[in-house]
Amino acid sequence: MSTPPPPANPPSDVLAAARTDAARPTGPERPAWVDRFVWSVLAKALAAAAFAALAVYSFSALGHLLGVLAIALFFALAMIPGVEALVRRFHMRRGAAVGIIYLAALVAVVLMIAVLIPGIVRFANAVAAQASGWFDHLDSWVNSTFGTSAFDTGGAADGTSAVARVLGEWGDDVLGFVTSGVGMAFDLLTIAAFAFYFAAGFPGLMRAVMRRMPPERQRVFKWIALTSIEQTGGYFYSRLLIMAVNGGLAFVVMAAVGLDLVYAAPLALFMGFVSTFIPFIGTYLGAIVPILVVLAVEGLAQAIILLVWVLVYQQIENYVLSPRLSSKTMELNGAVAFGGALAGGALAGPMGAFMALPVAALITAIVKNTGHTYALIDEETAEDAEPAEAGETTEE
């Protein structure tokens, strides 16, 4: 039986057509816009990631400069009411008005340094010279009153001498820092320069920014800017006034109880500044140091007199001075002020806590004057009203 011949190879065109049919998808063909959409999404995602990375890098690299600009803007807003008052009263240019305010601030800072630093050094020397006598007197009083010795006077005197040495070194360090702090001096000059430009050219800056906005947004932006000036300037000038009252009265009381003027002047300055410009805890920090100094130098009775005055004055400031000044400058709830100070301190340290109160007042003013508000139902209606059942409608 003969074998059949092998099958002939199909033609090449038939093989090519078969391969094309096999490679062709069996389902419906994908639209071309799908590929374009996928590539567009990928490109936008990559661009967004690159922009985010660039923004993070820029903020990390320019963080210090942005902080300097924020501080400069804060002080510029605080200066603007004084600048405008000088311009209206004496018809001077805004730059000259800012220069006068700068000169007054420079004189005040120089006087503070001239009074505070030597006072610290002299107090340290007095502590070192009179420590043994103070502790002997205190130990004899405790022994005569309670029949026991309070402490080892020799060891206490040695410890006090060490404290005095630390105080003296701290005063020298502060003086050296003020005179040779190149980095701090550069930052202060930068802040002063930007604050000068912001305060002197504020009307021009306002017009330049508002030209980029539609009329409705211009009104909102102008209201926010004017409210910022009112809150910041009012806060700053009211604090300066309270500081002057606090420090001046503290100086009078400490001089009246017999404290040497060499100690009374820097302690009054310290007490007024710390009590006024450090929120909440500043009152206690500003009072405890003068009370301890009076206790050490003059005695227990004089320290009690100063303590009583501090307590009485604090009530007068809380219930008379601050409400009257705040009603004309800055309205701020106590809880909001406390939270704002904590948040500002956590973000930017003492300067953040100092700047937080006017910022919180500005945010409060914006919240009060924006958004929808609704009339409240009276209490009797609220007590008599019952919630409607599901599906029921209330009748008018």
The pLDDT value given to residue 60: 82
Please state the pTM of the whole predicted model: 0.67
CA gap 191, 184 in Å, rounded: 10
CA triple 72-78-82, angle to 5 deg: 125
Contact 310, 287 (CB under 8 A): yes
CA gap 301, 287 in Å, rounded: 16
Q: Which two tokens stand for residue 295?
A: 């206790």
pLDDT along the chain (396 residues), means of 10: 57 63 58 76 90 86 85 90 91 92 90 75 69 67 67 52 54 51 76 93 91 89 86 82 90 90 84 81 83 82 91 86 70 72 79 78 76 70 54 49
The pLDDT value given to residue 396: 44
CA gap 48, 50 in Å, rounded: 5
Q: Which two tokens stand for residue 79?
A: 């200066």
The pLDDT value given to residue 199: 93
Q: Which two tokens stand for residue 240?
A: 């300066």
The pLDDT value given to residue 338: 75
236: number of Cβ within 10 Å: 22
Q: Which two tokens stand for residue 342?
A: 């904590």
Q: What is the number of alpha carbons within 13 Å of residue 167 lying toward its C-beta?
A: 20
Closest to 358 measured CA to CA, from 21, 70, 33: 70
Query: CA distances (Å), 280 to each of 118, 239, 266, in order?
Result: 28, 13, 22
- Integer Rg of the chain from CA: 36
